[in-house]
Amino acid sequence: MSTKDSHLSDQELLLAADGELAPGRAAEAASHLAECWTCRVRKGEIEESIRNFVHTYRGNLDPLLPPPAGLRALLKAQIAEMTAEMASAQQGWRAQWSPVATFRYAGAALFVALLGLLVYFRPAFPSRQGLHVVPVSFPEPSLTPGMAAAVSRDQLCRSTHPKNRIVPASLQRRVFEEYGISGAEPRAYEVDYLITPALGGADDIRNLWPQSNSAAVWNARVKDALEDRLHDLVCDGRLDLATAQRDISSDWIAAYKKYFETDEPLK
């Protein structure tokens, strides 16, 4: 049996460092460590190994972690959906079909449907099995309200700059983070100006959104056509610049329908 006078084994030193010794033995070990340089140095070495491991472990893995907000939002949506499903299942089971209950049930179903839509139109989260990319056809107004720079109509119409500037990679990353897009998914999106610089749009995160490359109907090509149309209208003096900016930023699809007088994108 070890006593307070006998040296501690490496195993015991590790247990002591981790606070895992039985209480009686812990007291003996502590009093031995107070007296014994050899054991104290050895314990320090073990702690050094632990420190090195933890630094390497964290240093390698932390940069791989995705931003937490996106995953939290997805979890909340899934829990809400699960709760709503259970509530409606319970209600069905009880078969209490008073008019109020019916109304509530319809409300719950509507909510689940809307939630599904919201989750669907918000960028999805990467899933390896069936990695699917959700088409984003319009920006989230709270994240991308649209921002114009202080540029006059004359400056815009004189400018020969390329229509769309390239968005810096750092800013693109922030846009993806904001929309909760992570992992391999960014490749499926193009960070686009809501108000194009050719219409005075600013290089501001509030003016950028991830437009999905896979949207079948209301895609980037259609929006480009609208941008050209508005630029021409503004420069021909047929449309006020502020109106063009407001229309494209509030609902670009509605603006397309309005300025092309059509309900479908033109071929």
Partner 1 sequence: MFDDDAIPDLAARISSAEGTALKPTPLEEEVVALFDQMQDRLLRYLLSSGVPVHDGEEIVQEVFLALFQHLQRGKSRRNLRAWVFQVAHNLSVKRYLAIRRDRQNLVDLGEAPAEDSFIDRNPNPEDQLASNQSRARLQRVFRALPEQDRRCLSLRAEGLTYREIGKVLDMSLGAVALSLGRSLARFARAEER
Residues that bind partner 1 (CB under 8 A): 10-11, 14-15, 18, 20, 45-46, 49-50, 52-66, 68, 71-80, 82-84, 86-87, 103-104, 107-108, 110-111, 114-115, 118-119, 125-129, 131, 140-142, 182-184
Residue whose tokens read 């070990």:
29
Nearer to partner 1, 92 or 183 (CB): 183
Nearer to partner 1, 72 or 165 (CB): 72
To partner 1, the closest distance from the beta carbon of 230 in angstroms equals 24
Do residues 215 and 193 touch, judged by C-beta distance below 8 A?
A: no
For residue 29, count other CB atoms closer than 10 A to its CB.
Answer: 21
To partner 1, the closest distance from the beta carbon of 212 in angstroms equals 18
Tell me which amino acid residue 248 is: I
The rounded distance, in Å, linking the Cα atoms of 109 and 143 is 27
Nearer to partner 1, 34 or 54 (CB): 54
To partner 1, the closest distance from the beta carbon of 241 in angstroms equals 26
Q: What are phi and psi of 201, to 5 degrees?
A: -70, 145
To partner 1, the closest distance from the beta carbon of 178 in angstroms equals 13
Nearer to partner 1, 30 or 109 (CB): 109
Residue whose tokens read 């922030």:
174
Q: What angle do CA 226, 231, 236 make, to 5 degrees?
A: 130
Residues shown for the chain: 267
Terminus-to-terminus CA distance in the chain, angstroms? 89
The rounded distance, in Å, linking the Cα atoms of 17 and 39 is 12
To partner 1, the closest distance from the beta carbon of 72 in angstroms equals 6
To partner 1, the closest distance from the beta carbon of 202 in angstroms equals 21
Nearer to partner 1, 141 or 168 (CB): 141
To partner 1, the closest distance from the beta carbon of 83 in angstroms equals 5
Nearer to partner 1, 105 or 260 (CB): 105
Do residues 218 and 226 touch, judged by C-beta distance below 8 A?
A: no
Nearer to partner 1, 21 or 199 (CB): 21
| 190 strand-pairing partners | 211
Pairing mode of beta strands 189-193, 208-212: antiparallel
Whole-number Cα distances in Å, 227 to 7, 151, 159, 200, 242? 80, 17, 15, 11, 14
